[in-house]
A = this chain, B = another copy of it.
Amino acid sequence: MGGDYGPSETVPAAAQALSLLPHLNLLLFGNIEMCAEALDAYGLSHHPNVSFVHTTQSVSMAESPAFALRHQPDSSMRRAIEAVAGAQADACVSAGNTGALMAIAKHILKVIPGVDRPALVSCVPTIAGTRSVLLDLGANVNCEAENLRQFAVLGGVVAEEVLGLRHPRIALLNVGSEANKGNIPVKSAAELLAATPGLNYCGYIEGDALFQGIADVIVCDGFVGNIALKTAEGMVRLLSSASHQQMKGWAGWIQSWLTRFFKRRLSHLNPDQYNGASLLGLRGIVIKSHGRAERSAFTNAILQAAVEVERQLPARIAERIDALPLNRR
């Protein structure tokens, strides 16, 4: 039910994901009346791998997390997370309200011991052709230094388990690269990280180095991470659209060719390609799709969930956090 488009995009995305990974089993949670048409249109009404669970409520984008948690026991979001907690599902994917998803997931699934707050994590593309783990992307807008340290640990595990890196280079996002730069939590986090054994902490990086691949894990609070990622995404969309004013005749033909060339250049950094941020630090897999995701982007979020199920990411994180010296306290 979530996101800016609801079932008109999430249902075709489910069909697309099934055609790509035919072994998937999909449980769809939502209002049957609002979904029936799309389910029929995309052949999912009687599909053997698709079960539909009717729910009477859904969390709107403007709802407060506290209200969604306390007063919407039959929301599609909550029922989907409960399915993960009850082992009817291996992962939950939602394009809905981030704050509510975070609050409900934390309440129902609980956090992994050693983690105070889950973080929203994405593997973003870089100009070097690699990917960097960026977190937090908006789950925690008020962070202390200790939260940032835990995010560094979580991000390091993702870099090792998902990206297959050894000793991933961990950096803090800051307004300068010199030691005296930064706000209070970032400066304190730098001290904590430098004092944490087993972490390959490399210092500060600035916003313009975010997509250069010079760090494998980039840590920031959720306010900064959300704004940095959305600014970068907005820039890519803006530059794509800059080549859109259609000309006529020969000029138009040349222009449309250039536009295709231009778009291919940008596709590498297209946010749709990496849609699907993981809510990490929970005892279960929860994937947050961008609210603005259309079907192909939402499909990527479903595929991302399938990858994490295969890697058993929460179990790996729990093992690694348990083994880290900082948690022997």
> Chain B CB within 10 Å — which of A99, A178, A209, A231 has the most?
A231
| Partner among B142, B223, B224, B232 whose Cβ is within 8 Å of the Cβ of A235 | B232
List chain B residues, Cβ under 8 A from A224.
223-224, 227
Given contacts A180-B62, A181-B99, contact A227 B207 (CB under 8 A): yes
Stretch of A75-83, A144-152, A239-247, A299-307 contacting B (4+ beta carbons < 8 Å)? A239-247
Complex Cα–Cα for A235 and B238 (A):
11
A269 part of interface (Cβ distance < 8 Å) = yes
A252-283 CB mask vs B (1 if < 8 Å, else 0) is 00000010011001101100000000000000
Q: How many residues of A contact B (CB 8 A)?
A: 56
Complex Cα–Cα for A182 and B261 (A):
38
List chain B residues, Cβ under 8 A from A173.
227
A49 part of interface (Cβ distance < 8 Å) = no
Complex Cα–Cα for A242 and B125 (A):
13
**A residues neighboring B (CB under 8 Å):** 61-62, 64-65, 98-99, 127, 138, 141-142, 173, 175-176, 178-184, 186, 206-212, 220, 222-224, 226-239, 241-243, 258, 261-262, 265-266, 268-269
List chain B residues, Cβ under 8 A from A222.
175
Q: Which residue of B lies closest to A268 (CB)?
A: B242
The 13 listed contacts between A and B (C-beta, < 8 Å) are A62-B178, A173-B227, A182-B223, A207-B227, A208-B230, A208-B237, A210-B231, A211-B234, A211-B238, A231-B232, A239-B266, A242-B265, A242-B268
Complex Cα–Cα for A141 and B175 (A):
8
List chain B residues, Cβ under 8 A from A243.
265
Chain B: minimal CB distance from A242 (Å) = 5
List chain B residues, Cβ under 8 A from A258.
258, 261
Q: Which residue of B lies closest to A65 (CB)?
A: B180
Chain B: minimal CB distance from A182 (Å) = 6
